[in-house]
Amino acid sequence: MIRAGEAVAAGRLPRVYRSWADLDSVSPSLVRAVIAAEDDAFLTHRGLDLGAIRRAREWNASHPKRLPRGASTITMQTARNVFLWPGRSWARKVLEAWFAMLIELFWGKRRILEVYLNVIEWGDGVYGAEAAARRWFGVPASSLSPRQAALLAAALPHPLRSNPAAPSGYLSARATVIERRAGRVDLRALTRGNGTSTPARGART
């Protein structure tokens, strides 16, 4: 809705590309790449990554003139996109953390990943892995190669400025790092029950 409103305000017809894909219909390469890029402790934390929060706080305190670093986990991003409004207020951050812990408890890792991969923005009006795979590479999400998956994951921080199909030097280099790290993500935790059991330690990098 936000992008649609921006398009109307700019005098353009809104375009939305969205197609739901079950987690089993998404290439494991993309699942690994997204975890490696966005939240490498996803399979071990319970919604909040306290270590990442501490590191972000320390970095921001020592670099006051730089853009602040965040510590949002995949779970927190999912909560924000599904239940909350955009913005950076403390009230929204508190609610984001609360909802993150709730969905970790009631949804489990598989469901959180599935929802995340279907609501995340991957370009102007492009939402979800299936729409992104077809928009940028002309293939279903199930057929993404490790390199294509890494390029999509690399684009997540700046989806409106990134072109995974014709990547800049920076995006390509970031994708190379993500592809290497993705090879160390162990997804076996997602096959046990609903993904809430003790996760594999191989997810940490």
Cα 61 from Cα 76, distance rounded (Å): 22
Q: Which fold has domain 15-50+106-203?
A: Penicillin binding protein transpeptidase fold (1.10.3810)
Cβ 128 vs Cβ 21: under 8 Å: yes
What pLDDT, in 10s, does the model give residues 57-72?
675 666 666 656 566 8
pLDDT higher for 125 or 199? 125
Strands (E) across 83-180 are located at 126-127
| Alpha-carbon gap, residue 10 to 48, rounded angstroms | 37
DSSP-derived letter for residue 18 is: E
Please, is 199 exposed, middle or buried when counting C-beta atoms within 10 Å of its C-beta (0-12, 13-18, 19+)?
Answer: buried
Query: pTM for the full model?
Result: 0.82
Dump pLDDT digits (tens) for 16-42.
Answer: 778 899 999 999 999 999 999 999 999
- Which sequence spans correspond to the domains of the chain? 15-50+106-203
